[in-house]
Amino acid sequence: MSMIGIVPAAFVLISLFEVWVKRETVEKHMGEKSIIRGFLWAIVLASTIIGGLYVSFPIAGVLYKKGAKASVVFTFLFASTICRIPMTVFEANFLGIKFTMIRFLISLPLVIVSSIILGRIAEKSGVMDKMAD
């Protein structure tokens, strides 16, 4: 019931993202030639997500269709579960800023490494192309 207020607005914003953001922009910042910049953009975009994976999965699909490489899409999905700003503020308030910084310093490199590995496996197996259709 709590998602009823978030999901419709999120889908409108996702639709606007799909229409307004050009494929060339996504390819430039998150595509094959983006190297580390794509991962940073994915983490920044993921930190702003409200609504959890209900919102993250459709955005990830749009990113992949617009030319983001698979590893960056996986980074976006993984980071959207651990880097959201509201969750981070809540965590820092109750567990301390030191704990939050340590968690980020440990989890973000692991997210990127696992995304690269999973992205290579998904691209070799052709799973991503099947999902994009």
Please, where are the H alpha helices in 1-133?
7-20, 23-30, 36-47, 53-65, 70-82, 85-95, 97-125, 127-132
Q: For residue 132, is pLDDT > 80?
A: no
Q: For CA atoms 90, 94, 97, 99, give the dihedral sign.
A: negative
Q: For residue 67, is pLDDT > 70?
A: yes
Mean pLDDT of 68-81: 94
Q: For residue 3, is pLDDT > 80?
A: no
**pLDDT per position as a tens digit, 77-119:** 999 999 888 889 999 999 999 999 999 999 999 999 999 999 9
What are the sequence ranges of the domains in the chain?
2-132
- Tokens of residue 56, six digits: 């993250």
Considering 26-35, 43-52, 77-86, 94-103, the range whose residues carry the highest mean pLDDT is: 94-103
